[in-house]
Structure 1
Amino acid sequence: MALGGAETRRFVLQALMGRWFMVFASLLIMSMSGATYMFGIYSGAIKTSLGYDQTTLNLLGFFKDLGANIGLMSGVINEVTPPWVVLAIGVAMNFSGYFMIWLAVTGRTPKPSVWQMCLYICVGANSQTFSNTGALVTCVKNFPESRGIVIGLLKGFTGLSGAIITQLYHAFYGNNTKDLIFLIGWLPAAVNCFFLRTVRLMKLVRQENEQKIFYHLLYISLSLAGVLMLLIILQNSIAFSRPAFAATRVQYSGPPLVAGRVQPTGKRRRLQHTASPLQHRHDHTIHSRHIRIGGTLTAIDNLGQMGKALGYPDKSVTTFVSLVSIWNYLGRVASGFSSEILLAKYKFPRPLMLTFVLLLSCVGHLLIAFGVPHSLYLASVIIGFCFGAQWPLIFAIISELFGLKYYSTLYTLGGGASPLGAYILNVKITGHLYDKEALRQLAAKGLERKKGEDLSCTGVECYKLAFLIITAATLVGCFVSLILVLRTRKFYKGDIYKKFREQANEAAE
């Protein structure tokens, strides 16, 4: 009896210290790290409480995007410290940033200056890069031959987190969007704290059924996404009470626990690895860093205001954000898994798939620009899918062209062009044109804006010109991506994972 108890303890310890429980922990961390995609839900509360116009609100959105995408610090720290240090810093930044926003919006502190609000949201959003770097980069280094699948799955859960947190928000707080800010301050921080020491670099081993296990995790996540989609459809047609949301809350944490039982193996060791970089790497840096130009970020950040301008009911705003979240997830896992399959079987280059994704996103932008009746639902689906699909492709391309030795730093630099594009397209173009149209509408009614009053616009014209400009900018991104396809075509015709297989075989001998 005592022997059985000892064996059970050994098995449990092996499971908790194994590679697959580490993957499970990373999935939960990533499923709580997408709060920045929910800005469309709580931005209205900020705008009304603090009396902002759309340009000021979009400036706040820009600093959110700046924090969420400029993760150089997290990458540098992750190069020289264990992953738990990076995750711990992210915990502190997440809670402090969003907690200060919540205090300001609820009137618990004096009204802060705009620059203070920009600082708060930038700090809070920047915590996302620490979670992403600590969890995702570690998993990629632990499973280098499945990098496309790993990135797609983990980034997929980041995309899905918006829908997960939205349902938890309704269960905990009903429809008070101010309390949503508080939720995204404490919940991700709590999850990260719980798994701080679980996420770590391990000995590089090669398992024959590795990809099969990841496919099982994919099926579990697809089931979760299906449940969330069903809830969204029901919520759009049936009035859910808070107890009804609470009753369904258990579904969100149940299915992924299966991952914790999958083959617990492995022990801790610092992974020392480098992949051969591609020649003329500076040419690829220019293209890889400027493919993303912020158009989809602008659409996501303005979903709440677009729904209001086009006359959609208030409950549709959370529907749009949830749709973006779920299709963001589907785009990430679809591009991650499919690009890996197409690359392995047909040598289909990832940059070409990225070009197609950018082209598809133009359809969503045009639907918004022309305000087709009820099209914002479809636009949310297209934009969410395309936004999600870009990330695994970009990060996998970076890892393939430059190797994994400095991947923590390269990963955090991958989305560096997004804030610049978001500032130009969101603040200088979309916000400015929205406010201009809103002031024109006030003048047409013989009214003037009162001091401290938020500035609202209604009708298709609020966003039409802005999204036509965004469509044109995205087409430029397609052209740049096509150049990358041409410059890397010889590289993707070769065996890009040969070196990893050789190193895994050497480690096994």
Structure 2
Amino acid sequence: MANLSGGGSFWTAGFGFHVLSSRWFTIFASILIMSVNGATYLFGVYSNDIKSSLGYDQTTLNLVSFFKDLGGNLGIISGLINEITPPWVVLAIGAVMNFFGYFMIWLAVTGRAAKPRVWQMCLYIWIGADSQAFANTGSLITCVKNFPESRGIVLGLLKGFVGLSGAIMTQLYHPLHGNDTKSLILLIAWLPAAVSIVFLPTIRLIKNVRLKNEVDLFYSILYLSLGLAGFLMIIIIIQNKLTFTRIEYVGSAVFVLILIFAPLAIVIKQEFYAWKSKKQFKTVTENPLRIESTPLPAELEPISSPSWARVNPQKPVSCTKDVFNPPDRGEDHTILQALFSIDMLILFIATSCGIGGTLTAIDNLGQIGKSLGYPTRSITTFVSLVSIWNYLGRVASGFVSEIFLTKYKFPRPLMLTFVLLFSCCGHLLIAFSIPNSLYIASVIIGFCFGAQWPLLFRNNIGNIWPQILLYIVPIWSCCKPSWGICS
């Protein structure tokens, strides 16, 4: 094999290919894709630009916001495509949709194109926002299938980075465009599309064998992401108190990028051990004079999968049979069995009231802050706080629910109920308009919005549920109310 860095070095073409084709690099690539694919959570930053540039009233802006939420959550299209194509096709389609939708919005807002009709703006934002569902389906579902025994942790971690993407994107656009929020739309158009295109070959289904140190590696990535969230929280507070220069914005953005790419070190270290053990094993098997075996390191030894993660050897049953005769909870359901179950109805109602309400507040943070007399600079702070705590909510519920269920048999539906009740506190703070309460409300609403997603996905009926919930449940966005305070 060709050596890439000189004699004696382990950095060979073979090792590089081994890393790029590994399951753990798929996790890293998905983290990067998720980190820039939360454009729907930034609507509160640039919504005032749409409203003022195109002369919309609040009712029209609410209509545009509705189609944004509908596109961002109606994942059935990407789900159906994912059933018949490899993940890279789904990601490629999402990248094209993302660029087209948001680029057309940027042209309209900056006056570089003729003023579009309302239905055209709704179509543009629907296409751009629906690309997020393609990114979620292509990368997240692939990682869940690659790590079936750790799917709760994978869901919490990757969905957490989606929640954190709002704060990441605001930190990246400041050094590039200053405080020009119209240029943020252009950044949203090209950056997520570029990241998805770069990592297309690496997002794929890989035959998996669970390792003993698998959970430890995920916790290492979690600690790095917590450091990223902590840094973002600190820098946002500082930026809200002080006036940053372009150079200072560049410095903070560089540090954010370093923290985002930090999980790559964990991936390389893990795959180096695996690659080295593979080479040693190959050397032993090719040398008949050496009869002793070379054991794998303890952390690389495979372990048996739990019973629920093993493949069912029974013959598949048609999805049209036994629709109203589902198996026990926890066992695999067909799509129709899941859709027509009482569990699906309960989760649908919960998301309609819970996620629908919190998403309405997030979408209208710009208008709420303006109507309550907060300065314009604070609007970005509100959106960033929602983004950071959205991430913390997703990660906390993904990891904590797994621990509570395993150690204390604490049911996830009960935890979801507590999260919904806690979100009411944020809505009440907005309703009563207490001085400076919008900062606290942003934290509560962001945390509760994020915490609901892993709990929703993990309140499943077998392995079909993560896909069903990504494809069907988000129709709740049609039910969201309007905020009278913003009219």
Q: TM-score range by the shorter chain?
A: 0.7 to 0.9
Aligned to 2:268: 261
Partner of 1:145: 149
State whether residues 173 and 184 of structure 2, in contact with CA within 8 Å, keep that contact through their aligned partners in structure 1. yes
Which residue, out of 392, 395, 414, partners 1:352? 414
Which residue does 1:375 correspond to in 2? 437
Which residue of the partner structure matches residue 462 of structure 1?
none
2:176 to 166, 172, 184: 172
- The match for 2:384 is 322
Which stretch of the first structure deviates more once superposed, 6-15 or 120-129?
6-15
Aligned equivalents of 2:404, 2:438: Cα separation in 1: 32
Matched-pair contact (CA < 8 Å) for 2:368–2:486: no
CA distance in 2, matches of 1:197, 1:408: 22
Q: Secondary structure at the match of 1:319?
A: helix
Contact 1:157 1:329 in 2 (8 A): yes
Aligned positions of 1:424-439 closer than 5 A: 425-426=481-482, 430=483, 434-435=486-487
Instruction: Name which of 91, 98, 108 aligns with 1:87.
Output: 91
- d(CA) in 2 for partners of 1:7, 1:242: 38
Q: How far apart are residue 8 of structure 1 and its match?
A: 2.5
Cross-structure match for 1:312 = 374
1:30 corresponds to 2:90: no
Q: What whole-Å deviation, never above 9, does each CA across 1:26-60 have from its counterpart, x for those lacking one?
A: 00000011010000000000000011111111111
Within the candidate set 89, 96, 100, 1:96 is matched to 100
**Cα distance in structure 2, aligned partners of 1:22 and 1:197:** 10
Identify if the C-alpha distance between structure 1 residues 58 and 11 changes in structure 2 by more than 3 Å, giving closer, same or farther: same
Tell me how far apart the structure 2 counterparts of residues 25 and 73 of structure 1 sit (CA, whole Å): 23
Q: Summarize the Cα distance change of 1:262–1:68 in structure 2 as closer, same or farther, 3 Å threshold.
A: farther
Change (3 A) 1:273 1:90: farther
8 Å contact 1:20–1:262 — kept in the other structure?
A: no
SS at match of 2:459: helix
In structure 2, how many angstroms separate the alpha carbons of the residues matched to 1:152 and 1:302?
Answer: 26
- 2:479 pairs with 1:421: yes
Q: What does residue 286 of structure 1 align with?
A: 345
1:384 aligns with 2:439: no
1:249 aligns with 2:253: yes
- Structure 1 counterpart SS, 2:48: helix
1:170-319 alignment, distance < 5 Å: 170-255=174-259, 256=262, 257-264=264-271, 276-277=331-332, 281=338, 282-293=341-352, 294-319=356-381
Alpha carbons 2:458, 2:466 under 8 Å: kept? no
Alignment partner, residue 339 of structure 1: 401
Runs of 4+ in structure 1 off by over 6 angstroms are: none
The alpha carbon displacement at 1:252 in A equals: 1.9
Deviation at 1:413, TM superposition (A): 1.9
Asked whether 1:408 is paired with 2:467, we answer yes
State the secondary structure of the residue aligned to 1:4: coil
TM-score of the two chains, using structure 2 as the length reference:
0.83
Deviation at 1:251, TM superposition (A): 1.4
Instruction: Kindly state the Cα deviation for residue 93 of structure 1 after the two structures are TM-superposed.
Output: 0.3
Give ranges in structure 1 of 5+ residues lacking alignment: 436-509
Q: Is the 8 A contact 2:235 2:252 kept in 1?
A: no
- Please report how far the alpha carbon of residue 403 of structure 1 lies from its aligned counterpart in structure 2 after TM superposition: 1.7
Task: State the one-letter code of the partner of 2:331.
Answer: S
User: How far apart are the structure 1 equivalents of 2:141 and 2:10?
Assistant: 34
Whether the aligned pair in 2 keeps the contact of 1:97 and 1:120 (CA below 8 Å) is yes
**SS of match in other structure, 1:416:** helix
Question: What CA distance in whole angstroms lies between the structure 1 residues aligned with 2:116 and 2:445?
Answer: 33
Asked if the contact 2:160–2:394 (Cα under 8 Å) also holds between the matched residues in 1, the reply is yes
Whole-Å separation in 2 of the counterparts to 1:5 and 1:378: 53
Q: Distance in 2 between matches of 1:77 and 1:38?
A: 27
Deviations 1:47-91 (A, max 9, x none): 000111111111111100000010101011111111100000000
Shift of 1:3: 6.7
Note if 1:105 corresponds to 2:164. no
Aligned AA (1:403): N
Looking at structure 2, the residues matched to 98 and 273 of structure 1 have their Cα atoms a distance apart, in angstroms, of 42
* CA–CA distance in structure 2, aligned partners of residues 329 and 106 of structure 1: 31
CA distance 1:409–1:83, change in 2 (3 Å): farther
Asked if 1 retains the 8 angstrom alpha-carbon contact of 2:79 and 2:137, the reply is yes
User: Structure 1 residues 307 and 260, CA, compared in 2 at 3 Å: closer, same or farther?
Assistant: same
Counterpart position of 1:498: none
User: Residue by residue, what CA displacement relative to the aligned partner does 1:431-488 show, whole Å, maximum 9, x if unpaired?
Assistant: 5x643xxxxxxxxxxxxxxxxxxxxxxxxxxxxxxxxxxxxxxxxxxxxxxxxxxxxx
1:317/1:213 Cα in 2 relative to 1: closer, same or farther (>3 Å)? Answer: same
Instruction: Report if aligned partners of 2:371, 2:486 keep a CA contact under 8 Å in 1.
Output: no
Structure 1 position 16, deviation (Å): 1.3
Separation in 1, partners of 2:406, 2:257: 33
| Aligned pairs, number | 422
Contact map agreement 1:336 1:392 (CA 8 A) in 2: yes
User: Aligned to 1:311, what secondary structure does the other structure show?
Assistant: coil
CA contact (8 A) 1:96 1:124 kept: yes
With the length of structure 1 as denominator, give the TM-score of the two structures.
0.80
What is the DSSP-based 3-state SS (H/G/I as helix, E as strand, rest coil) of the residue aligned with 1:111? coil
Instruction: Write the letter of the residue equivalent to 2:104.
Output: M
Moved more, 244-253 or 94-103: 244-253
Matches within 5 A, 1:441-480: none
Decide whether the 8 Å contact of 1:50 with 1:111 is kept in 2: yes
What's the offset of the Cα at 1:259?
3.6
1:131 aligns to 2:189 (yes or no): no
Structure 2 gaps, min length 5: 279-308, 313-329
Deviation at 1:7, TM superposition (A): 6.6
RMSD of Structure 2 on Structure 1 (CA): 2.1
Letter in 1 for 2:342: D
Counterpart of 1:477?
A: none
Structure 1 vs Structure 2: percent identity of aligned residues?
Answer: 61
